[in-house]
Amino acid sequence: MRVVEEIIRTRNELGIIVERDSTGATLLDAGVRAPGGYAAGVAMTELCLAGLGKAHVFHTRYGDVSLPSIFVETAYPAIATLGSQLAGWQIKTDNYSAMGSGPGRAIALKPKDVYEKIGYTDRSEKAVMILESESKPTGEAIQYISKKCKVSPENLFVMVASTSSVAGSVQISGRVVEAGIHKLSEVGFDPKKILSGCGYAPIAPIHPKAGQAMGRTNDAIYYGGEVYYTVDFEDDEKLRMLVARAPSSTAREYGKPFYEILKAANYDFYNIDPNLFAPAVVSINNIRTGMTYTAGNINTDVLKKTMGILN
Protein backbone atom coordinates (compact mmCIF):
# COMPACT_ATOMS: atom_id res chain seq x y z
CA MET A 1 0.00 0.00 0.00
CA ARG A 2 2.94 2.39 0.51
CA VAL A 3 3.76 1.97 -3.18
CA VAL A 4 0.10 2.52 -4.14
CA GLU A 5 -0.07 5.67 -2.04
CA GLU A 6 3.08 7.07 -3.68
CA ILE A 7 1.70 6.31 -7.16
CA ILE A 8 -1.54 8.10 -6.29
CA ARG A 9 0.38 11.08 -4.87
CA THR A 10 2.51 11.43 -8.05
CA ARG A 11 -0.18 10.41 -10.56
CA ASN A 12 0.06 13.64 -12.57
CA GLU A 13 3.83 13.29 -13.05
CA LEU A 14 3.40 9.61 -13.97
CA GLY A 15 0.58 10.25 -16.44
CA ILE A 16 -1.75 7.90 -14.54
CA ILE A 17 -5.51 8.31 -14.11
CA VAL A 18 -6.81 7.41 -10.65
CA GLU A 19 -10.53 6.92 -10.17
CA ARG A 20 -13.14 5.05 -8.17
CA ASP A 21 -15.38 2.73 -10.12
CA SER A 22 -19.05 1.99 -9.46
CA THR A 23 -18.18 -0.68 -6.87
CA GLY A 24 -15.96 1.67 -4.86
CA ALA A 25 -12.68 0.06 -5.96
CA THR A 26 -9.73 2.32 -6.80
CA LEU A 27 -8.47 1.97 -10.37
CA LEU A 28 -5.02 3.17 -11.42
CA ASP A 29 -4.98 3.41 -15.20
CA ALA A 30 -1.39 3.42 -16.47
CA GLY A 31 -2.03 2.58 -20.10
CA VAL A 32 -5.63 1.97 -21.16
CA ARG A 33 -6.91 5.54 -21.54
CA ALA A 34 -4.07 7.16 -19.59
CA PRO A 35 -0.90 8.21 -21.44
CA GLY A 36 1.39 6.57 -18.88
CA GLY A 37 5.04 6.32 -19.89
CA TYR A 38 8.36 4.88 -18.74
CA ALA A 39 8.08 6.20 -15.18
CA ALA A 40 4.57 4.74 -14.92
CA GLY A 41 5.95 1.41 -16.13
CA VAL A 42 8.69 1.48 -13.51
CA ALA A 43 6.11 2.25 -10.80
CA MET A 44 3.94 -0.59 -12.10
CA THR A 45 6.93 -2.97 -12.03
CA GLU A 46 7.75 -2.09 -8.43
CA LEU A 47 4.10 -2.53 -7.47
CA CYS A 48 4.12 -5.95 -9.16
CA LEU A 49 7.09 -6.78 -6.91
CA ALA A 50 4.97 -5.80 -3.87
CA GLY A 51 7.45 -3.08 -2.90
CA LEU A 52 10.16 -5.73 -2.40
CA GLY A 53 12.26 -4.75 -5.41
CA LYS A 54 13.53 -1.77 -7.38
CA ALA A 55 13.59 -0.97 -11.07
CA HIS A 56 15.02 1.70 -13.34
CA VAL A 57 15.19 2.39 -17.08
CA PHE A 58 18.47 2.74 -18.93
CA HIS A 59 19.76 2.47 -22.51
CA THR A 60 22.03 -0.29 -23.82
CA ARG A 61 23.06 -1.98 -27.05
CA TYR A 62 21.97 -5.34 -28.40
CA GLY A 63 24.39 -6.00 -31.23
CA ASP A 64 24.13 -2.96 -33.53
CA VAL A 65 20.82 -1.78 -32.02
CA SER A 66 20.36 0.50 -29.03
CA LEU A 67 17.15 0.05 -27.01
CA PRO A 68 15.68 1.38 -23.78
CA SER A 69 15.85 -1.37 -21.18
CA ILE A 70 14.72 -2.00 -17.63
CA PHE A 71 16.91 -3.26 -14.79
CA VAL A 72 15.25 -4.99 -11.83
CA GLU A 73 16.68 -6.19 -8.52
CA THR A 74 15.24 -7.80 -5.40
CA ALA A 75 16.55 -9.17 -2.12
CA TYR A 76 13.31 -11.14 -1.63
CA PRO A 77 13.31 -13.12 -4.88
CA ALA A 78 10.84 -15.94 -4.16
CA ILE A 79 8.14 -13.81 -2.51
CA ALA A 80 8.55 -10.72 -4.72
CA THR A 81 8.50 -12.64 -8.01
CA LEU A 82 6.62 -15.94 -7.63
CA GLY A 83 4.56 -14.67 -4.71
CA SER A 84 3.52 -11.39 -6.35
CA GLN A 85 4.89 -10.51 -9.81
CA LEU A 86 4.05 -13.80 -11.54
CA ALA A 87 1.03 -13.35 -13.80
CA GLY A 88 -0.41 -16.51 -12.33
CA TRP A 89 -4.06 -15.56 -12.01
CA GLN A 90 -6.26 -15.60 -15.09
CA ILE A 91 -9.06 -13.15 -14.33
CA LYS A 92 -12.06 -14.23 -16.38
CA THR A 93 -15.72 -13.27 -16.07
CA ASP A 94 -18.56 -13.22 -18.61
CA ASN A 95 -17.39 -10.06 -20.36
CA TYR A 96 -13.85 -9.45 -19.12
CA SER A 97 -10.48 -11.20 -19.09
CA ALA A 98 -7.02 -10.18 -17.93
CA MET A 99 -3.74 -11.59 -16.70
CA GLY A 100 -3.55 -10.89 -12.97
CA SER A 101 -0.46 -10.35 -10.85
CA GLY A 102 0.43 -8.50 -7.68
CA PRO A 103 0.38 -9.06 -3.91
CA GLY A 104 -3.37 -9.76 -3.87
CA ARG A 105 -2.53 -13.17 -5.32
CA ALA A 106 -0.95 -14.17 -2.01
CA ILE A 107 -4.32 -13.63 -0.28
CA ALA A 108 -6.33 -15.46 -2.94
CA LEU A 109 -3.60 -18.14 -3.30
CA LYS A 110 -3.64 -18.04 -7.09
CA PRO A 111 -2.23 -20.54 -7.95
CA LYS A 112 -2.12 -22.46 -4.67
CA ASP A 113 0.80 -24.75 -5.60
CA VAL A 114 3.12 -21.75 -6.06
CA TYR A 115 2.51 -20.62 -2.48
CA GLU A 116 3.05 -24.14 -1.20
CA LYS A 117 6.38 -24.18 -3.05
CA ILE A 118 7.61 -20.89 -1.56
CA GLY A 119 5.98 -21.42 1.86
CA TYR A 120 4.12 -18.12 1.92
CA THR A 121 0.58 -16.80 2.38
CA ASP A 122 -0.76 -13.37 3.25
CA ARG A 123 -3.70 -11.74 4.99
CA SER A 124 -4.71 -8.11 4.72
CA GLU A 125 -7.72 -5.84 4.97
CA LYS A 126 -6.65 -4.28 1.66
CA ALA A 127 -5.64 -5.94 -1.59
CA VAL A 128 -3.59 -4.75 -4.55
CA MET A 129 -3.73 -6.28 -8.03
CA ILE A 130 -2.10 -5.51 -11.38
CA LEU A 131 -3.94 -6.39 -14.59
CA GLU A 132 -2.62 -6.68 -18.14
CA SER A 133 -5.65 -5.92 -20.30
CA GLU A 134 -6.83 -3.73 -23.15
CA SER A 135 -9.66 -2.38 -20.97
CA LYS A 136 -10.41 -1.47 -17.38
CA PRO A 137 -12.04 -4.19 -15.25
CA THR A 138 -15.81 -4.40 -15.18
CA GLY A 139 -17.82 -4.25 -11.98
CA GLU A 140 -18.32 -8.00 -12.19
CA ALA A 141 -14.56 -8.56 -12.46
CA ILE A 142 -13.94 -6.29 -9.47
CA GLN A 143 -16.52 -8.20 -7.40
CA TYR A 144 -14.85 -11.49 -8.39
CA ILE A 145 -11.36 -10.28 -7.43
CA SER A 146 -12.60 -8.76 -4.15
CA LYS A 147 -14.32 -11.98 -3.15
CA LYS A 148 -11.24 -14.11 -3.84
CA CYS A 149 -9.02 -11.62 -1.97
CA LYS A 150 -11.49 -11.54 0.96
CA VAL A 151 -11.82 -7.75 0.94
CA SER A 152 -14.61 -5.32 0.14
CA PRO A 153 -14.34 -3.54 -3.25
CA GLU A 154 -13.66 -0.28 -1.37
CA ASN A 155 -10.42 -1.85 -0.13
CA LEU A 156 -9.30 -3.13 -3.53
CA PHE A 157 -6.70 -1.23 -5.57
CA VAL A 158 -6.17 -2.28 -9.18
CA MET A 159 -3.51 -0.98 -11.57
CA VAL A 160 -4.07 -1.73 -15.24
CA ALA A 161 -2.26 -1.18 -18.55
CA SER A 162 -2.61 -2.63 -22.02
CA THR A 163 0.20 -4.55 -23.70
CA SER A 164 0.15 -1.90 -26.45
CA SER A 165 1.15 0.90 -24.07
CA VAL A 166 4.51 2.21 -22.93
CA ALA A 167 3.85 1.37 -19.27
CA GLY A 168 2.58 -2.07 -20.26
CA SER A 169 5.68 -2.81 -22.32
CA VAL A 170 7.97 -1.60 -19.54
CA GLN A 171 6.35 -3.72 -16.83
CA ILE A 172 6.39 -6.88 -18.96
CA SER A 173 10.13 -6.55 -19.61
CA GLY A 174 10.41 -5.86 -15.88
CA ARG A 175 9.37 -9.48 -15.29
CA VAL A 176 12.72 -10.81 -16.51
CA VAL A 177 13.97 -11.81 -13.03
CA GLU A 178 10.64 -13.50 -12.28
CA ALA A 179 10.80 -15.41 -15.60
CA GLY A 180 14.18 -16.86 -14.68
CA ILE A 181 13.10 -17.86 -11.17
CA HIS A 182 9.92 -19.46 -12.48
CA LYS A 183 11.90 -21.47 -15.06
CA LEU A 184 14.44 -22.58 -12.44
CA SER A 185 11.57 -23.63 -10.21
CA GLU A 186 10.05 -25.63 -13.07
CA VAL A 187 13.29 -27.54 -13.73
CA GLY A 188 13.64 -28.49 -10.06
CA PHE A 189 15.50 -25.70 -8.26
CA ASP A 190 14.08 -24.64 -4.89
CA PRO A 191 13.32 -20.89 -5.25
CA LYS A 192 13.74 -20.40 -1.50
CA LYS A 193 17.49 -21.04 -1.99
CA ILE A 194 17.80 -17.93 -4.17
CA LEU A 195 19.14 -15.14 -1.95
CA SER A 196 18.98 -12.23 -4.40
CA GLY A 197 18.30 -11.62 -8.04
CA CYS A 198 18.78 -8.96 -10.67
CA GLY A 199 18.53 -8.66 -14.42
CA TYR A 200 17.56 -6.57 -17.40
CA ALA A 201 15.66 -6.82 -20.67
CA PRO A 202 14.98 -4.48 -23.60
CA ILE A 203 11.68 -2.60 -23.58
CA ALA A 204 9.78 -3.61 -26.69
CA PRO A 205 8.77 -0.86 -29.14
CA ILE A 206 5.00 -0.37 -29.07
CA HIS A 207 2.81 -2.16 -31.60
CA PRO A 208 -0.85 -1.08 -31.93
CA LYS A 209 -2.16 -4.64 -32.35
CA ALA A 210 -2.46 -6.53 -29.06
CA GLY A 211 -1.33 -9.90 -30.42
CA GLN A 212 1.85 -8.55 -31.97
CA ALA A 213 2.51 -6.40 -28.93
CA MET A 214 2.29 -9.56 -26.82
CA GLY A 215 4.78 -11.23 -29.16
CA ARG A 216 7.28 -8.39 -28.90
CA THR A 217 7.06 -8.02 -25.13
CA ASN A 218 7.63 -11.74 -24.58
CA ASP A 219 10.50 -11.84 -27.07
CA ALA A 220 12.18 -9.01 -25.17
CA ILE A 221 12.71 -11.49 -22.32
CA TYR A 222 13.18 -14.70 -24.31
CA TYR A 223 15.77 -13.29 -26.71
CA GLY A 224 17.13 -10.20 -24.91
CA GLY A 225 16.75 -10.80 -21.17
CA GLU A 226 19.70 -11.52 -18.89
CA VAL A 227 19.50 -12.45 -15.19
CA TYR A 228 21.95 -13.05 -12.35
CA TYR A 229 21.17 -14.78 -9.05
CA THR A 230 23.07 -15.52 -5.87
CA VAL A 231 22.20 -18.80 -4.21
CA ASP A 232 23.27 -21.00 -1.32
CA PHE A 233 23.39 -24.49 -2.80
CA GLU A 234 25.06 -27.70 -1.65
CA ASP A 235 25.83 -29.38 -5.01
CA ASP A 236 27.78 -27.46 -7.64
CA GLU A 237 27.48 -30.16 -10.30
CA LYS A 238 23.69 -30.30 -9.93
CA LEU A 239 23.58 -26.50 -10.00
CA ARG A 240 25.58 -26.43 -13.25
CA MET A 241 23.13 -28.89 -14.83
CA LEU A 242 20.10 -26.89 -13.66
CA VAL A 243 21.54 -23.64 -15.07
CA ALA A 244 22.09 -25.37 -18.42
CA ARG A 245 18.34 -26.12 -18.55
CA ALA A 246 17.24 -22.61 -17.55
CA PRO A 247 17.55 -20.36 -20.66
CA SER A 248 14.89 -20.00 -23.34
CA SER A 249 17.23 -21.63 -25.89
CA THR A 250 16.29 -25.06 -24.47
CA ALA A 251 12.83 -24.80 -26.10
CA ARG A 252 11.97 -26.73 -29.26
CA GLU A 253 10.79 -23.65 -31.16
CA TYR A 254 13.53 -21.33 -29.95
CA GLY A 255 14.58 -18.93 -32.68
CA LYS A 256 11.12 -18.00 -33.91
CA PRO A 257 9.35 -14.76 -32.94
CA PHE A 258 6.84 -15.51 -30.20
CA TYR A 259 3.92 -14.14 -32.23
CA GLU A 260 4.54 -16.80 -34.90
CA ILE A 261 4.68 -19.51 -32.22
CA LEU A 262 1.51 -18.18 -30.59
CA LYS A 263 -0.41 -18.17 -33.88
CA ALA A 264 0.72 -21.73 -34.65
CA ALA A 265 -0.57 -22.76 -31.20
CA ASN A 266 -4.01 -21.22 -31.95
CA TYR A 267 -3.28 -18.53 -29.34
CA ASP A 268 -3.27 -21.16 -26.58
CA PHE A 269 -0.30 -20.68 -24.21
CA TYR A 270 -0.73 -24.25 -22.99
CA ASN A 271 0.18 -25.55 -26.46
CA ILE A 272 3.57 -23.81 -26.35
CA ASP A 273 6.71 -25.53 -25.05
CA PRO A 274 7.05 -24.13 -21.49
CA ASN A 275 10.85 -24.19 -21.82
CA LEU A 276 10.54 -21.02 -23.93
CA PHE A 277 9.23 -18.97 -21.00
CA ALA A 278 12.65 -17.93 -19.69
CA PRO A 279 15.32 -15.27 -20.12
CA ALA A 280 17.92 -15.56 -22.86
CA VAL A 281 20.84 -15.73 -20.42
CA VAL A 282 20.87 -17.15 -16.88
CA SER A 283 23.84 -16.87 -14.49
CA ILE A 284 24.02 -18.16 -10.91
CA ASN A 285 26.69 -17.49 -8.30
CA ASN A 286 26.86 -20.07 -5.52
CA ILE A 287 28.05 -18.27 -2.38
CA ARG A 288 28.76 -21.61 -0.70
CA THR A 289 31.55 -22.47 -3.19
CA GLY A 290 32.26 -19.22 -5.03
CA MET A 291 31.50 -20.78 -8.42
CA THR A 292 29.35 -19.05 -11.06
CA TYR A 293 27.58 -20.89 -13.87
CA THR A 294 26.04 -19.29 -16.94
CA ALA A 295 24.07 -20.51 -19.95
CA GLY A 296 22.33 -19.00 -22.98
CA ASN A 297 22.94 -16.09 -25.35
CA ILE A 298 21.30 -12.83 -26.39
CA ASN A 299 19.74 -13.35 -29.83
CA THR A 300 19.94 -9.99 -31.58
CA ASP A 301 18.74 -11.36 -34.95
CA VAL A 302 15.35 -12.40 -33.54
CA LEU A 303 15.12 -9.22 -31.49
CA LYS A 304 15.52 -7.01 -34.56
CA LYS A 305 13.02 -9.09 -36.55
CA THR A 306 10.33 -9.22 -33.88
CA MET A 307 10.76 -5.57 -32.84
CA GLY A 308 10.41 -4.32 -36.42
CA ILE A 309 13.79 -2.61 -36.32
CA LEU A 310 15.43 -1.59 -39.62
CA ASN A 311 18.92 -0.11 -39.75
Is the pLDDT assigned to residue 22 strictly greater than 90? yes
Per-residue model confidence as pLDDT tens digits over 248-265: 999 999 999 999 999 998
Residue of 191, 270, 273, 267 lying closest to 232 (CA atoms): 191
Closest by Cα among 292, 260, 296, 298 to 69:
298
**Looking at residues 201-217, what average pLDDT do you find?**
96
pLDDT over threshold 90, residue 267: no
pLDDT the model gives residue 270: 73
Average pLDDT over residues 120-146: 97
Q: Is the pLDDT of residue 112 over 90?
A: yes
What does the DSSP assignment read for 162-193? -TTSHHHHHHHHTTHHHHHHHHHHHTT--GGG
Residue 269 binned pLDDT confidence (cut-offs 50, 70, 90): confident
Closest CA to 132 of 4, 201, 258, 36: 36
Position 221 scores a pLDDT of: 98
CA dihedral 10, 12, 14, 19 (to 10 degrees): 90
What's the pLDDT tens digit per position in 272-292? 999 999 999 999 999 999 999
* Mean pLDDT along residues 168-192: 98
% residues pLDDT > 90 (the chain): 96
Could you give all domains of the chain from N- to C-terminal order, each with its CATH number? 2-307 (3.30.1030.10)
Q: What is the mean pLDDT of residues 51-75?
A: 97
pTM for the whole thing? 0.96
Model confidence at 271, pLDDT cuts 50, 70, 90, reads confident
> Helix, strand, coil % (nearest 5) of the chain?
40, 25, 35
pLDDT recorded at residue 117? 96
